Structure 1
């Protein structure tokens, strides 16, 4: 595939949602007013290719990174790829998130900063790192959950360290202590939870899970094909006739 062909690639719903998330952050930070936000959001959901998505965030801090084509299947870490391409340096796509009686979500292709701070009050948040890039080899996610919760999803191979404090709440430590892959990022989860919780869950990237699902379907089809009729696969009257011949 040549670079000239990339703008013509069809964008997915996930690609459009990543651009929409960048626009929401820009609105919250005052980089866009409401009229600009609504205009660009409408253009985002009407876009069909990467070439149409890229200009929407070109003048925002991410520099259009939200419209970057996804990693080809089989090249992500854990499937024969390398973590080196995911530790990109520079600044993160966003440095924090707030949910007050609401929710937030960071997922898809985004860059995790060296320190990401989030706060939830009577709300919830999701921080999904499975397809993310990392600004550094070690990143810190600082969570404050007051009568709310935060769910952090990490891919296999990432080392997790949990240092948060909970009062009538807690930080999930089940994924702590699992050795990381060579060169993989280290994610430190810190903060404070009061009548709330911060969960950490390890899941395979969506592309890998899709491959496993397809592989399972192929295996089932192969198994079904291996089942043969003891009378040669004949049915109905032909089968009965064959049965009489056998007698």
Structure 2
């Protein structure tokens, strides 16, 4: 990291006023940049922890800027793609890890499964519109996390099952996935991630002790 302050939120003049007090929004932007950088392998887990602590305790724009001075995108969060297309026949396809959720997706599947895992995904807006065309053997799996709502009201279904686990009512919505198009033989499943054996045992023990 360098000692030179750079722009944090793209507002002209920020770099000229490093002693300006930082806002919560600016801290949140830097936290997101750091998390994405760690997911891309640009900084280590130890560096991430160190910089996150510094970001949350930073008082000025200059302090925040130093934390991202050696990272790309000029201190701005990554921009989501407008559209991602997946056209797959045979063989499975997935989006997992710290992938950047686009604004729209077009998914065409036959004799394969597409998995969209949102548990560690980078979400920069509150809706994802998915245009589906599921044929025989074309299945879609959505792995959700608290705050993700899946809406199938715009979907035409001929055959195949739709299993949508209800969102947790106490969690504020961070992303609404709106499925539209048609399913003519494929299954659609939306569920939280599977718990490991250790997590299952721990959860049962907590219920017993409670």
Normalising by the residue count of structure 1, what TM-score does the alignment of the two structures yield?
A: 0.46
CA RMSD between the two structures:
4.0
TM-fit CA distance, 1:116: 1.5
Is 1:213 aligned with 2:199? yes
Supply the distance in 1 between the matched residues of 2:38 and 2:141 (Cα, whole angstroms): 27
Which has a greater percent of strand?
2
Which has a greater percent of helix?
1
Is 1:186 aligned with 2:186? no
Matches within 5 A, 1:36-185: 66-67=40-41, 90-92=79-81, 95-147=84-136, 148-163=138-153, 164-172=155-163, 174-176=164-166, 178-179=168-169, 181-182=171-172, 184-185=174-175
Gaps of 5+ in 2: 3-35, 53-76
Supply the distance in 2 between the matched residues of 1:117 and 1:124 (Cα, whole angstroms): 14
Normalising by the residue count of structure 2, what TM-score does the alignment of the two structures yield?
A: 0.53
Distance change >3 Å, CA 119–CA 157, structure 1 → 2: same
Q: Secondary structure at the match of 1:143?
A: strand
Deviations 1:96-155 (A, max 9, x none): 222212221111101111111211111111111111012311112222210111111111
TM-fit CA distance, 1:91: 2.0
- Tell me if the contact between 1:120 and 1:149 (Cα under 8 Å) persists in the aligned partners: yes
Number of matched residues? Answer: 142
TM-fit CA distance, 1:178: 5.0
Larger radius of gyration between Structure 1 and Structure 2: 1
TM-fit CA distance, 1:203: 2.9
- Tell me if the contact between 1:114 and 1:135 (Cα under 8 Å) persists in the aligned partners: no
Deviations 1:51-82 (A, max 9, x none): xxxxxxxxxxx99974366786xx9xxxxxxx
What's the counterpart of residue 81 of structure 1?
Answer: none
Q: Which structure would you say has the larger RCO, counting Cα contacts within 8 Å and 6 or more residues apart? A: 2
Supply the distance in 2 between the matched residues of 1:139 and 1:125 (Cα, whole angstroms): 16
Runs of 4+ with >4 A deviation: 62-65, 68-72
- Tell me if the contact between 2:147 and 2:167 (Cα under 8 Å) persists in the aligned partners: no
Q: Secondary structure at the match of 2:106?
A: strand
Q: Secondary structure at the match of 2:199?
A: helix
- Tell me if the contact between 2:100 and 2:121 (Cα under 8 Å) persists in the aligned partners: yes
